[in-house]
A and B are shown apart, each in its own frame.
Chain A
Amino acid sequence: MIAGKPATRRLTRLNMNKGMKIMNVQQLVEKNKSWNLSRDFAKKLLILSGLLAFSFLAFLISIGQGSLDLSFKEVLRCIFLEHDTLNHRIIWNVRLPRTLVAGLVGICLSLSGSILQGVLRNPLAAPNIIGVSSGAGFMAFVIFILFPEYYHIVPLGAFLGAFISTILIYVLAWKDGAHPMRLILAGVAVSALLGAGINSLMIFYPEKISGIIGFMVGGLSARTWPHFKVLLPYASLGIGMALLFPHKLNILALGDEIATGLGLNVEKTRMMFIVIASLLAASAVSVVGLLGFVGLIVPHTARLIIGSDYRYLFPATAILGAGVVMICDTIARMIFDPVEIPVGIIMALLGAPFFLYLLRERRQG
């Protein structure tokens, strides 16, 4: 009896140990299961790394190509290692800032479009639907034509014009809340009005058109570090948002009633996202002009590639946007060298067919 007690105790302890071991095995199985379960996650991660590789390649090509051709290795060495060579100066003062501006513009416009497609629940939504293009264009025209001595404030004017017309559209669409369809219709109406304004200015001041045509088409020539610094805070804001709030947009995409039922303040969230989308697009437009197409085509392409879950869609859109604008700008610089053509034209020429191809592929699948 006396000797038996510790033995039993030991036995129990052994059993307990065994029990714990069994639990550990179970946990392991659970863990493994969840690893298997996230095959979808792995797939999306793979797509994201693919996009990242594409963008990085675009970055190297964009910097390497020009009147002075450099290999990838030389490009990297010039950026990070060399300091006083001619190559370094060309890259550091001319090509790198321009490429970075192209990347940031791509990020800003694409994220803006992506946000708007989600908030307005409309695949055709793009920055121009909330008046960014028309507002910026109108203000730029007014400054250029009526106050030509202040032409240097065109970017600021464009920024304000874009942002103010968004606010105007939002206010006009408000009636017990800003319903997506009303927002879109108000956007179309205000854009038409501002477009009429632009057209009348063009008719009354035909001799001034050539000066502003570059702004209307959008281009990246002679963009350097100051432009980059203007864009950086907005792009950072957009990327920050993308990391912080993808859930809110996902929930908003389920419909207003469901979103309210899940405890999301629908109107507040929608307004916040529209303001951010407008800021993103306005900052891009103020630096490079009306480069509207990116905001429609990149978010849509990203959605076709990676799906509509904003946790993955946001990063995919940003990365793809940066890559696409960088590569298009390179082509715009190179194709009729030494004459540059505006990047907006290349974007439309290459983007539209590719987009249509993706759309048809997807339909068949």
Chain B
Amino acid sequence: MILQAKNLDLSYGKKIVVKDVNIEINRGEIVTIIGPNGSGKSTVIKALSRYLKPQKGQVLLENKNIFSLKTKEVAQKVAVLPQMKNVPEDFSVETLVGYGRYPHLGFRQRFSQEDYQIIKWALKKTDLLQFKERQLNNLSGGEKQRAWIAMCLAQKPEVLILDEPTTFLDISYQLELLDLIKELNESMGLTIIMVLHDINQAARYSHKLYAIKDGCVHSSGRPQDLLNEDFLKDVYKIEADVFQDNKHSCPYFIPLKKVN
């Protein structure tokens, strides 16, 4: 187990948003957290990425409490792509990706030959080598998102945490991104934790799903075990027909209507 959340209570101010959540993530898995709006998915992600301190419980990275580790130590193992990020518009792609090396640099902040090679590798992996001098504001939404992922890759992490990486992208970019994530998982054994809104995509690209509802873990398991008519009715309050996608050996569904 590489990352684990144990009896997490999370709150913003006094309002408790997430209650008693347990999550276990094994090395090399793609784990997707799904759930309706406002269920606390992003909040859980924030705690897993050491951004939000829990009221109760703990997050363990390789069995060590993530909040007792130094920010830099965590950043050498865990890379995070949050929903909320500022894009400094006149930064070049290469500059942004270079910041992925920050957790590995010494006090003087100088890149070694190795750092340059890693940056180049990250750009290549995300197919951005030809754009490396471009300014971020001259990139399309999909390219911009790939640049952020390249920055995460330059961290050479073991775990990559993504909060709704496909939001605001059109469908071709969504698939491109998810394929990239899957490829990274398969070729490097990178552990992926992400939040997705599209349940069909979550089912197709993940090894394991966690469904969160009203701040609690509703259920978890392999997509083929989890995704069925009752589950969708219970978690999302929709009626749906669930089929089996034999080509990708995963379930998929067609929504019919909302139920109350």
The residue in A247, A258, A309 that gathers the most chain B C-beta atoms within 10 A of its C-beta is: A258
Segment of A51-59, A149-157, A259-267 engaged in the interface with chain B: A259-267
Contact of B95 among A121, A256, A257, A309 (CB under 8 A): A309
- Report the minimal beta-carbon distance from A48 to chain B, rounded to whole angstroms: 16
Chain B, Cβ-Cβ closest to A36: B133
Chain B, Cβ-Cβ closest to A310: B88
Segment of B46-54, B194-202, B227-235 engaged in the interface with chain A: B46-54
Bound-state CA distance A263–B74 (Å) is: 7
With a cutoff of 8 Å between Cβ atoms, the chain A residues found around residue B71 in the complex are 260, 263-265
Q: Are B88 and A261 in contact (CB under 8 A)?
A: no
- Report the minimal beta-carbon distance from B170 to chain A, rounded to whole angstroms: 24
Number of interface residues of B (CB under 8 A): 36
- Report the minimal beta-carbon distance from B42 to chain A, rounded to whole angstroms: 10
Bound-state CA distance A345–B36 (Å) is: 57
Known: A257-B84, A265-B71, A309-B90. A247 touches B50 (CB 8 A): no
With a cutoff of 8 Å between Cβ atoms, the chain A residues found around residue B51 in the complex are 256-257, 260-261
Q: Are A40 and B75 in contact (CB under 8 A)?
A: no
1/0 per position for A6-24, CB-CB distance to B under 8 A? 0000000000000000000
Bound-state CA distance A250–B51 (Å) is: 19
Chain A, Cβ-Cβ closest to B103: A263
- Report the minimal beta-carbon distance from A269 to chain B, rounded to whole angstroms: 10
Chain B, Cβ-Cβ closest to A258: B85
With a cutoff of 8 Å between Cβ atoms, the chain A residues found around residue B81 in the complex are 258, 261
Chain A, Cβ-Cβ closest to B95: A309
Chain B, Cβ-Cβ closest to A118: B88
The residue in A37, A254, A307, A308 that gathers the most chain B C-beta atoms within 10 A of its C-beta is: A254
Bound-state CA distance A247–B84 (Å) is: 20
Known: A250-B99, A260-B49, A262-B99. A309 touches B80 (CB 8 A): no
Chain A, Cβ-Cβ closest to B11: A176
Chain B, Cβ-Cβ closest to A262: B102
Within 8 A of B (CB), among A238-282: 247, 250-251, 253-258, 260-265
Bound-state CA distance A308–B90 (Å) is: 7
With a cutoff of 8 Å between Cβ atoms, the chain A residues found around residue B243 in the complex are none
With a cutoff of 8 Å between Cβ atoms, the chain B residues found around residue A261 in the complex are 49, 51, 75, 78-82, 152, 161
Q: Are B76 and A263 in contact (CB under 8 A)?
A: yes
Residue B109 CB within 8 A of the other chain: yes
Contact of A255 among B49, B86, B133, B152 (CB under 8 A): B86
Q: Are B80 and A258 in contact (CB under 8 A)?
A: yes
Contact of A308 among B50, B78, B88 (CB under 8 A): B88
Chain B, Cβ-Cβ closest to A256: B51
Residue B35 CB within 8 A of the other chain: no
Within 8 A of A (CB), among B65-95: 70-76, 78-82, 84-86, 88-92, 95
With a cutoff of 8 Å between Cβ atoms, the chain B residues found around residue A121 in the complex are 86
Q: Are B88 and A253 in contact (CB under 8 A)?
A: yes
- Report the minimal beta-carbon distance from A34 to chain B, rounded to whole angstroms: 9
With a cutoff of 8 Å between Cβ atoms, the chain B residues found around residue A257 in the complex are 46, 49, 51, 80, 82, 84-85
- Report the minimal beta-carbon distance from A115 to chain B, rounded to whole angstroms: 15
With a cutoff of 8 Å between Cβ atoms, the chain A residues found around residue B102 in the complex are 247, 251, 262-264
The residue in A247, A250, A262, A308 that gathers the most chain B C-beta atoms within 10 A of its C-beta is: A262
Q: Are B99 and A255 in contact (CB under 8 A)?
A: no
- Report the minimal beta-carbon distance from B147 to chain A, rounded to whole angstroms: 12
1/0 per position for B125-150, CB-CB distance to A under 8 A? 00000000100000000000000000
Contact of A262 among B70, B84, B86, B103 (CB under 8 A): B103
With a cutoff of 8 Å between Cβ atoms, the chain B residues found around residue A176 in the complex are 13, 53
Bound-state CA distance A37–B119 (Å) is: 15
Within 8 A of B (CB), among A62-116: none
Q: Are A255 and B84 in contact (CB under 8 A)?
A: yes
Chain B, Cβ-Cβ closest to A260: B51
Q: Are A254 and B80 in contact (CB under 8 A)?
A: no
Contact of A258 among B82, B90, B95 (CB under 8 A): B82
Bound-state CA distance A37–B79 (Å) is: 28
With a cutoff of 8 Å between Cβ atoms, the chain B residues found around residue A251 in the complex are 99, 102
Chain A, Cβ-Cβ closest to B52: A176
Chain A, Cβ-Cβ closest to B78: A261
With a cutoff of 8 Å between Cβ atoms, the chain B residues found around residue A260 in the complex are 49-51, 71, 80
Residue B100 CB within 8 A of the other chain: yes
Chain B, Cβ-Cβ closest to A177: B53
With a cutoff of 8 Å between Cβ atoms, the chain B residues found around residue A262 in the complex are 75, 99-100, 102-103, 155
Instruction: Pull 28 A–B residue pairs with CB atoms less than 8 Å apart, ordered by A.
Output: A37-B133, A247-B99, A247-B102, A247-B109, A254-B85, A254-B88, A256-B51, A257-B46, A257-B51, A258-B81, A258-B86, A261-B51, A261-B82, A261-B161, A262-B75, A262-B100, A262-B102, A263-B73, A263-B74, A263-B75, A263-B76, A263-B103, A264-B71, A264-B102, A307-B90, A309-B88, A309-B91, A309-B95
Beyond A261-B82, A263-B74, 18 additional contacts (C-beta under 8 Å) are: A37-B133, A176-B53, A251-B99, A254-B85, A254-B86, A255-B82, A257-B46, A257-B84, A257-B85, A258-B80, A261-B49, A261-B79, A262-B102, A263-B73, A264-B102, A265-B71, A308-B88, A309-B91
